[in-house]
Chain A
Amino acid sequence: GEDVEQSLFLSVREGDSSVINCTYTDSSSTYLYWYKQEPGAGLQLLTYIFSNMDMKQDQRLTVLLNKKDKHLSLRIADTQTGDSAIYFCAESPAASGGSYIPTFGRGTSLIVHP
C-alpha cells in the first residue's frame, strides 16, 4: 500500500527559505498534494502536482518532484511568521470516477522565528 513520510519539525528564521520534504511509495501515476493546517483550523490546499510533472511554482511556493527517488519538496520563499503551521504531504492514485482516498504524511511543523 501507499506510504508517505515526512520529517516532523522544521525551524527557520523569518525571511529565509523553508524546504519541507516528503517521500512516497506509490509507483503508479499519482497526484501529490501539500496542505497547510493552522491551529484550530482545517486543512487548506496549498498546491498539487501530477506525477508526470517535475516542478510547479505559485508565487512564493515551489514544488519539486523527483520521480526516480519518489521525493517531493515544498519550498517557501521569504518565509513569514504567518507561515508557521503544520504542512501535510499527501498522495493519491489518479483513478477516475467516484471518490478517491489520499494517503497523508504525519505532517511537518514549521516554526518561523522573528
Chain B
Amino acid sequence: DTEVTQTPKHLVMGMTNKKSLKCEQHMGHRAMYWYKQKAKKPPELMFVYSYEKLSINESVPSRFSPECPNSSLLNLHLHALQPEDSALYLCASGQEARALHFGNGTRLTVT
C-alpha cells in the first residue's frame, strides 16, 4: 500500500472534455509533485509545489493546470488534451532532501 493516494486509477477522456486528477498525502510532506510517465521511460517532472506554492513549472502546456488546495491535496486539471498526452500521471510527495513517495498513478487515455 502506498501512503500517497491518487484517484482515479484509470481515466478515458475525449479531447474536448475537462477532468481532474486528485492526489492526497497525510505524511506532513511540504513538497508535492506531478510527473508524467510514458511506457518504458523514467518519470518526467511537470510541476512542483513547495509549502502550497507553485515553485516549478517545467514548461508544461496550459492545458494542464495544477492546484494545491492545502498541504495534503494536489490536483491536476485537464482540458483540451491531445492523444499524445496519454500516459501514466504520478503524484509524489517529499520532505527536503529525503526520498520522494509516489502514488500508484492515474492511467490516462485521451481519445
Contact = CB atoms under 8 A, between A and B. Distances in A.
B99 A48 contact: yes
Interface stretch (A54-62, A63-71, A100-108): A100-108
Contacts of A94: 97
Q: How large is the interface on B (under 10, 10 to 19, 20 to 34, 35 or more residues)?
A: 20 to 34
A100 B97 contact: yes
A48 B101 CA distance: 13
B55 interface: yes
B50 A43 contact: no
A92 B97 contact: yes
B6 to A, nearest CB: 8
B55 A98 contact: yes
A44 B102 contact: yes
Contacts of B86: none
B45 A42 contact: no
A45 B105 contact: no
A101 B42 contact: no
A35 B107 CA distance: 19
Interface of B: 2, 4, 6, 30-31, 33, 40-43, 45, 48-51, 55-56, 90, 92, 94, 96-105, 107
30 contacts: A31-B97, A42-B90, A42-B92, A42-B103, A42-B104, A43-B43, A43-B90, A43-B92, A43-B100, A43-B102, A44-B2, A44-B102, A45-B99, A45-B102, A94-B97, A95-B96, A95-B97, A98-B30, A98-B50, A99-B30, A99-B48, A100-B94, A100-B96, A101-B45, A101-B48, A101-B56, A104-B42, A106-B42, A107-B40, A109-B40
